[in-house]
């Protein structure tokens, strides 16, 4: 059993040691030369691919969209992990995010997106700052309207 596995492994390593250099130095040059000849003869319209066809534009757009989705997914995982961390009990930012998550869950969302939680926490923070200003001892709300 071990002898068979060792034999197959040796054959695989030997074949890779032979075929990889052949492909890298011989086959890839053949493909490169054939592609250049097709571009020069007009079989492949490189201007269409680069400018009008939108091939690279759509590829870049799909790549950016994929990165955006991954970033948002990671952000959601990080916010959920931060919300469950015992170190964040006294942190006002974590409290704002958890409060916004509970509000959004109360509105019927099962798993609110992290960016929505963050934006709502910002709004709650601005509301809390406004409430602190409104309850200040020397605050006169009518002074806003009578400024010269």
* Predicted confidence (pLDDT) per residue in 63-82, tens digit: 998 888 888 777 767 666 66
Length of the chain: 148
Q: What is residue 139's DSSP assignment?
A: -
CA 82 to chain centre: 18
| pLDDT of 113 over the 70 cut | yes
SS3 content of the chain, % helix, strand, coil (to 5): 80, 0, 20
| pLDDT of 92 over the 90 cut | no
Residue-level pLDDT at 21: 92
Considering the chain, what percentage of its residues have pLDDT values greater than 90?
19
Please report which confidence band the pLDDT of residue 29 belongs to, taking 50, 70 and 90 as the band edges. very high
* Predicted confidence (pLDDT) per residue in 2-13, tens digit: 888 899 889 999
Dihedral through CA 34, CA 39, CA 41, CA 44, nearest 10?
110
């Amino acid at each position: 059993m071990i002898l068979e596995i060792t034999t197959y492994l040796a054959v695989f390593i030997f074949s890779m040691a032979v075929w990889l250099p052949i492909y890298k130095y011989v086959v890839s040059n053949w493909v490169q030369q054939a592609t250049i000849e097709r571009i020069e003869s007009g079989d492949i319209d490189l201007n269409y691919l680069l400018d009008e066809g939108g091939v690279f534009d759509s590829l870049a757009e799909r790549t950016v969209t994929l990165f955006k989705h991954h970033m948002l997914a990671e952000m959601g995982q990080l916010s959920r992990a931060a919300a469950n961390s015992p170190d964040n009990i006294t942190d006002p930012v974590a409290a704002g995010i958890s409060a916004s998550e509970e509000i959004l869950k109360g509105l019927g969302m099962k798993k609110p997106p992290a960016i929505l939680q963050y934006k709502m926490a910002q709004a709650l923070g601005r509301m809390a700052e406004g409430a602190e200003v409104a309850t200040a001892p020397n605050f006169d709300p009518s002074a806003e309207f009578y400024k010269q």
